[in-house]
Copies of this chain bind each other. A is one copy, B any other.
Amino acid sequence: MRIGDLAARTRVSVRALRYYEEQGLLTSTRSESGQRHYGDSAVDRVRLIQQLYGAGLSSRTIAELLPCVDAKVSTPESRERLAVERDRINTQIAELITARDRLNDIIDVASRPNPHCNYV
C-alpha cells in the first residue's frame, strides 16, 4: 500500500509517517519513481509507535528499542533501558492517579453547596 492508505488505516498523518521514517522508526520500499510502499505489517508497526509515543517515549528512545522488538533479542543495555522506561511509566501512572484523585476532590468541594451559604 502507499503512504496515503497507511495514513488512512492508522489515522496518522502522511507527514507523521514520513517523519517516523526519517527517525528510523518505520521503513518502506520505494517504487521506481521513488514512492513509498508498505506491507500490511506496517499498520501494526505504526500502532506500536503511537503507543510508545503515547507512553511518553521519545523517537530516539523508540528507535533504540525497536530492534529488540524486531529481532526479539536484546543486549543487557537495552533490557535495562526497557525496564527503566517501564518503571517511568509506572511512576507516571501513579502520578496520574493522584492527580485524578486530586481533581476529583476539587470537583467534590466545588460542587458541594458552599457551607458558608447555609442558613444565610
Interface residues of A, Cβ cutoff 8 Å to B: 48, 51-52, 54-55, 65, 68-69, 72-74, 78-79, 82-83, 85-86, 89-90, 92-93, 95-100, 102-104, 106-107, 109-111, 114
Q: Is the CB of B103 within 8 A of A68?
A: no
Q: Which chain B residues border A109 with CB–CB below 8 Å?
A: 69, 72
Copy tally for this chain in the complex stands at 2
Q: Is the CB of A96 within 8 A of B92?
A: yes
Q: Which chain B residues border A95 with CB–CB below 8 Å?
A: 51, 54-55
What residue in chain B is nearest A107 (Cβ atoms)? B82
What residue in chain B is nearest A66 (Cβ atoms)? B106
Q: Is the CB of B102 within 8 A of A51?
A: yes
